[in-house]
């Protein structure tokens, strides 16, 4: 199975400051069709996960543009340009290139 490794696992941030979460896969996530099926999800306390980003860098409708995704191959990043209070959540990366799909361990973002 593809192992997804996120870092850091805990991220205390100051309101208005940027934040970055890394996600590394144990093998390339490039599929035979040339696409890379790497998604990012946000799970606020007590809520179901919500997708933010799909195929590495495509932002879902309604997701603030302060969220951005980047990367390629085995190395990916979710960036928040300016953290707001509503961004307190656990963030997960997920690969959908190889069966079984696998998630990272999650990164908990909290306000300092």
Partner 1 sequence: EVQLVESGGGLVQPGGSLRLSCAASGFTFSSYRMSWVRQSPGKGLEWVANIKQDGSEKYYVDSVKGRFTLSRDNAKNSLYLQMNSLRAEDTAVYYCARGDQKGTTDYWGQGTLVTVSS
**Residues found near partner 1 in the complex (CB under 8 A):** 1, 31, 35, 37, 39, 41, 43, 48-51, 54-55, 60, 92, 94-97, 99-106
Closer to partner 1 by CB, 2 or 81: give it.
2
Minimum CB–partner distance for residue 76 and partner 1 (Å): 14
Minimum CB–partner distance for residue 106 and partner 1 (Å): 5
Closer to partner 1 by CB, 16 or 100: give it.
100
With b for 16 or more beta-carbon neighbours within 10 A and e for fewer, the 20-32 pattern comes to bbbbbbeeebeee
Minimum CB–partner distance for residue 104 and partner 1 (Å): 8
Closer to partner 1 by CB, 35 or 70: give it.
35
| Side-chain-facing half-sphere of 93: CA atoms under 13 Å | 34
Closer to partner 1 by CB, 17 or 35: give it.
35
Minimum CB–partner distance for residue 111 and partner 1 (Å): 21
The residue to which tokens 């951005």 are assigned: 68
- The H-or-E segment that residue 80 falls in is strand 75-80
| CA-closest candidate to residue 41, choices 66, 78, 75 | 78
Beta bridge partners of 90: 43, 108
């Amino acid at each position: 199975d593809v192992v997804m490794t996120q870092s850091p696992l805990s991220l205390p941030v100051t309101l208005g400051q940027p934040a970055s979460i890394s996600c590394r896969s144990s093998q390339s996530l490039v599929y035979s069709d040339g696409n890379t099926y790497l998604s990012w999800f946000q799970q606020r306390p007590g809520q179901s996960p919500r997708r933010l980003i799909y195929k590495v860098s495509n932002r879902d409708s309604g997701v603030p543009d302060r969220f951005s995704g980047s990367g390629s191959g085995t190395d990916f990043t979710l960036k928040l340009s300016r953290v707001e209070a509503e961004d307190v959540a656990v963030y997960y990366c997920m690969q959908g290139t190889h069966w079984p799909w696998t998630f990272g361990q999650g990164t908990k973002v909290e306000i300092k």
